[in-house]
Structures are given as structure tokens and as C-alpha cells.
Amino acid sequence: MVDMATKKLTRNDWQVFLQEGLFIAPSFLFSNDTSSMRINYTPVDKKKRMIFSQKLASITEKLKNGR
């Protein structure tokens, strides 16, 4: 299992986000120095935030387990 706190996400890893329907711009599109993402979901209603959280949890598990 991979430690997601220290693993640098690659372009291939972000395919999992696309497959889950989360279209988040990863930081490597803007800089090679970081491995992060910034999300502002405050304007999203409660139901959509729950769906987002579930998808993000699913993606994290897939990446931990090497997909």
C-alpha cells in the first residue's frame, strides 16, 4: 500500500480523477515543483459535496492500492 501523504501524484495518477468524473486541475499543469490541488467547493450544495467526498475517497483508495 502507498503512503498518499508522501507520494507525488503523476500525470497517470490523474487519469483516475478523470475516470471518476472529477475534473480537477492538478498543480503539475502550472508547476513541476508541487504535488497538490486546490479545491473551492463552498458554492456547491450539500448533496454534491457528499458525492464529491465519496469520489475523492474512492480515488484515494485506488491510488493507495496501485489502482
Positions of the chain with pLDDT under 50: none
Q: pLDDT over 90 for what percent of the chain?
A: 10
Q: What's the pLDDT score for residue 51?
A: 92
Q: Please check whether residue 7 lies inside any domain of the structure.
A: no
Q: What's the pLDDT score for residue 34?
A: 63
Q: What's the pLDDT score for residue 36?
A: 67
Q: Please check whether residue 8 lies inside any domain of the structure.
A: no
**Residue 28 phi, psi dihedral angles, 5° rounding:** -65, -15
Q: Please check whether residue 6 lies inside any domain of the structure.
A: no
Query: Among the residues of the chain, which ranges form H helices?
Result: 14-19, 46-64
Contacts of 61 (CB under 8 A, 6+ apart): none
Element containing residue 66 per DSSP (H, E): none
Contacts of 49 (CB under 8 A, 6+ apart): 41
Report the number of distinct structural domains present in the chain. Answer: 1
Q: Please check whether residue 2 lies inside any domain of the structure.
A: no
Q: What's the pLDDT score for residue 44?
A: 80
